[in-house]
Amino acid sequence: MTIAAMIATGDPSITDDLLRLAAAADVEIELVHEAEHARQNWHWPSLILVGGDLAGEIAARTPDRRPGVALVAAAGDTADPYRRAVEIGAQDVARLPGDETWLIDALAAAAEPAEGWGTLISVLGATGGAGASVLSAALGLTAARDGLRTLLIDGDPLGGGIDLVLGLEEQQGARWPHFATRQGRLSAANLYEALPRLGDLSVLSWHRGGPTEVTGDATGALLDAAVRGFDLVIADVPRHQGEIGRRALRAADVTLLLAPAEVRATMAADDLLSTLRDDVRDLRLVARGPSSNGVTPDLMAQALDLPLAGAFDRDRKLAAALETGDLAGSLRRSSTGDFCSRLLASLDFGRPLEQAA
């Protein structure tokens, strides 16, 4: 584990508290008890936490101004922490024990590389049985096969579990209930290590035995960790979104609305659009054939006033593959797999999807 933070304090109570918080954030730290040692190591850590007891001595050594410095005041410390923070060039002040959550978040953030965020795609069906879960899983499998570190999120607590689609229901690993009441920042590395996976595809699904209520804070923390830790995040969102679905839609770079090429499905999609447009940034239609009564993907896109991300025909072989947990093997010979490859080939991280033929 890379050392990302330095704690500089000679106060045993501050030391004990910050070591406990660093353990909670799963971060390895460098602990120094003298101002001179702090000065010598001043430039390399992402985060420096300076105890109020050493602030004066460190300030006397006129440390260079740099980001990522915070002053930590112990409980009962009556000295002016903001004056001391200015003297050492700290951007933040944390008081113990009230700011422990902030300190855990700051420590966890310091341990993660400052790289670009991954892309989040939300997928939902215009009607029940449209195949949104299968499409979500197929996109995830295709992306992972192409070398992208991918996370598939099951947003439907009543959907039976998307891990069943992939044959991962018996694999050990965290499910949604593990994160249901999470508060504060979640480590992307910890999230990756906790989840069951199939190759480069990690999966967040549900336990059997009834739904678990997941708080909005927990959902936000998990989505934030997901886009920090994965190249591609795919959220399977139910039509009745709930907290997870709404947050995934708002956070998504692209939302794919899957609808069978039928009149009734097109009307259902139009009804659903009225509830979606305020929550999504880039909404695209995916049409699933075969067409009925002359309803083509282009006509659907025109009627719904949506850009067409692409179309594919339903492959009955996939239904059998779902029962045996062999979706990955069947995709290579299916129209769904071909569509997923085309769609992902058009994906440019950080920018919206181009139209997939």
Specify if 100 maps to a domain: yes
- Has residue 356 got a pLDDT over 60? no
Question: What is the four-CA torsion angle of 337, 338, 339, 344, rounded to 10 degrees?
Answer: 90
Mean pLDDT of 83-96: 92
pLDDT of amino acid 34: 95
Q: Is 160 in the same domain as 60?
A: no
Q: How far apart are CA 227 and CA 34, in angstroms?
A: 38
Highest mean pLDDT among 166-170, 181-185, 189-193, 199-203: 199-203
Q: Is 82 in the same domain as 149?
A: no
Domain boundary among 75, 110, 145: 110
Domain boundary among 89, 110, 131: 110
Q: At what angle do helices 216-229 and 242-251 cross, to 10 degrees?
A: 40
Specify if 264 maps to a domain: yes
Domain boundary among 77, 93, 110: 110
Q: Is 285 in the same domain as 192?
A: yes
User: Domain of 319?
Assistant: 119-345
Q: How far apart are CA 256 and CA 122, in angstroms?
A: 6
**For residue range 133-150, what is the model confidence (pLDDT) as tens digits?**
999 999 999 999 999 999
pLDDT of amino acid 38: 94
Q: Write the CATH number for 209.
A: 3.40.50.300
- Has residue 357 got a pLDDT over 70? no
Q: Is 104 in the same domain as 132?
A: no
Q: Write the CATH number for 22.
A: 3.40.50.2300
Q: Is 86 in the same domain as 197?
A: no
Mean pLDDT of 171-182: 91
pLDDT of amino acid 348: 62
What lies within 8 Å, CB to CB, of 316 at 6+ separation is none
Q: Is 100 in the same domain as 137?
A: no
Q: Is 125 in the same domain as 266?
A: yes
246 in Cβ contact with 124 (< 8 Å): no
Strands 197-198 and 201-204: antiparallel
- Has residue 350 got a pLDDT over 90? no
Q: Is 72 in the same domain as 125?
A: no
- Has residue 355 got a pLDDT over 50? no
Q: What is the pLDDT confidence band of residue 335, given thresholds at 50, 70 and 90? A: confident
Q: Is 1 exposed, middle or buried (0-12, 13-18, 19+ CB in 10 A)?
A: exposed
Q: Is 257 in the same domain as 195?
A: yes
Residue 6, token pair as written in the block: 């330095």
Specify if 180 maps to a domain: yes
- Has residue 327 got a pLDDT over 70? yes
Q: Is 210 in the same domain as 321?
A: yes
Q: Is 25 in the same domain as 153?
A: no
Q: Is 200 in the same domain as 299?
A: yes
Count of structural domains within the chain: 2
pLDDT mean across residues, the chain:
88
**For residue range 245-264, what is the model confidence (pLDDT) as tens digits?**
999 999 899 999 999 999 99
Specify if 98 maps to a domain: yes
Specify if 124 maps to a domain: yes
Q: What is the pLDDT confidence band of residue 271, given thresholds at 50, 70 and 90? A: very high
- Has residue 51 got a pLDDT over 50? yes
- Residue in 49, 23, 26 with CA at minimum distance from that of residue 38: 49
Q: Which residues of 34-51 are buried (b: 16+ CB within 10 A; e: fewer)?
A: ebeebbeebeebbbbbbb
Specify if 209 maps to a domain: yes
Mean pLDDT of 61-71: 90
Specify if 354 maps to a domain: no
Specify if 206 maps to a domain: yes
pLDDT of amino acid 2: 62
Q: What is the pLDDT confidence band of residue 103, given thresholds at 50, 70 and 90? A: very high
